[in-house]
Amino acid sequence: MNDKMKFPYVKASRFFQKILKFLTFILLPLTIAILVITRFLVGTTRIIFDGNFMLKAYDKINDVTDETLSWFIERDWIPNTSNWGDSLDGLFTFDSPITRVFILIIMVLICYLITIVLRKHSGEIKPLADDIRSYKLKRSIIDSLDAKRKNKNDEDSKKVKKLEKEMRKQLRKVKVDIHTVLRKNLPTPIKYYYVTFNRHSNDSVHDKVFKKIEPLQSSLSSKVPKSNFGQMNIAPDKDAHYFEGHYSLDKAPEALVVKLRRKLNQANQSAPEESQYVFPLNLFEDRHEAIEEKSEEGLEYAKSRQVDIMRFFTSEGIPATLSKEPFVGNTSIMYELDMPERVKKFPNVEEVESKIEHSMKIKNVRVEMASGKIKVTIPSNVNKPIDTKSLIEEVF
């Protein structure tokens, strides 16, 4: 938790981020809605009243009755509505407030970007990307804790208890901080994760929150497979519970200018004169970064489904243990598990495949059992692109 104190501009950045969200998603739509409603009212008023139909109707009836109507109702009592539309239009002038809201949004956005720059200068490598990632992780945590205002389970019960509502509200206040920093004497940056739940003033609500978040460590580890999350900790002032996790990046991220320069050099680079290939390989698109990104997504998905795989074997009474990390291919994922030597008879392969498909709600599961090992292959939700250049270099 002390690491967060070394970033003095984080609070300012979060402050401007909240204001920006309020202006963009609440104040601006509200102002536009008011403008649309007032334009509708002005247009309706022009259609109905600008024709001054009440005064015209009075004159026509008065003429037909030889001015008998004027004995009972004077003409001055009838309102002249010919300029009601213009009067209402002058009353509702919302064009200027919308412009002001846009200007305010731009000003707050500039302030937010300034804090992002200051955070980079204070040691953070990717503050903007980390902010986006922390928001996504927060939404994922809230979903996994069933802390939304209305859950699917609520459909059966007409009324959610007040204590349950307070617990969900407190869980939704979870703070997720992600910081990527390059420490001195370290070759690669480290990405730090902090997930904090503040203590509720009501002990009953706090106890329910505590029971809900106590087993969260495994869930966080599955959501961020590379990060090593520890057990839940208590803040020194005992006002919060938090989880910490971190992992080292494979390499330091390049600056945008350096990355653009490198790509331009690769594009302008011609094939060597004494090339062993008939055609220059630099004609193929360099997909190294895309493959790395898809590999990370595939590994995250594999880790998340690994929990389901192990839960299935446990529920079926099959004493299998994971022997190595899952292998992530282009379109599938393979898990290798060991069976104890005391197990002589393996379960039916087709039956296991069918049960896994039903349990995990997927198709095309393949199971192999031999020599005390079980290999389970499931389809991946991430398709990695093929690096044609590297494939040709390996083959030839």
pTM across the whole model = 0.52
Identity at 50, one-letter amino acid code: D
First vs last C-alpha separation in the chain: 52
CB 213 within 8 A of CB 171: yes
pLDDT in tens, the chain (396 residues): 444 446 778 889 989 999 999 999 998 898 888 888 888 887 887 777 776 777 777 777 777 776 766 677 776 777 777 777 677 776 666 556 778 888 899 999 999 999 999 998 888 888 999 999 999 999 999 988 888 877 666 555 555 688 888 899 999 999 999 998 877 666 778 888 999 999 998 989 989 999 999 888 888 888 887 777 888 888 888 889 999 988 888 766 665 555 666 677 766 664 444 445 445 555 556 666 667 777 788 888 888 888 888 888 888 888 888 888 888 887 888 898 888 877 767 778 888 888 888 888 888 888 888 777 888 999 887 776 665 555 555 544
Q: Based on the number of CB atoms within 10 Å of its own CB, is 255 exposed (0-12), middle (13-18) or buried (19 or more)?
A: exposed
Which residues are within 8 A (CB) of 359 and not within 5 positions of it... i.e. 6 or more apart? 308, 312
The first and second tokens of residue 65, run together, are 């009755």
Q: What is the pLDDT of residue 274?
A: 47
The β-bridge relationship of strands 190-198 and 240-248 is antiparallel
Q: What distance in Å separates the CA atoms of residue 197 and residue 220, rounded to the nearest whole number?
A: 14
Phi, psi of 188 (to 5 degrees): -130, 155
Q: What is the pLDDT of residue 277?
A: 47
Q: What distance in Å separates the CA atoms of residue 216 and residue 176, rounded to the nearest whole number?
A: 14
Confirm or reject CATH 3.30.980 for domain 284-379, answering yes or no. Answer: yes
Phi, psi of 336 (to 5 degrees): -115, 125
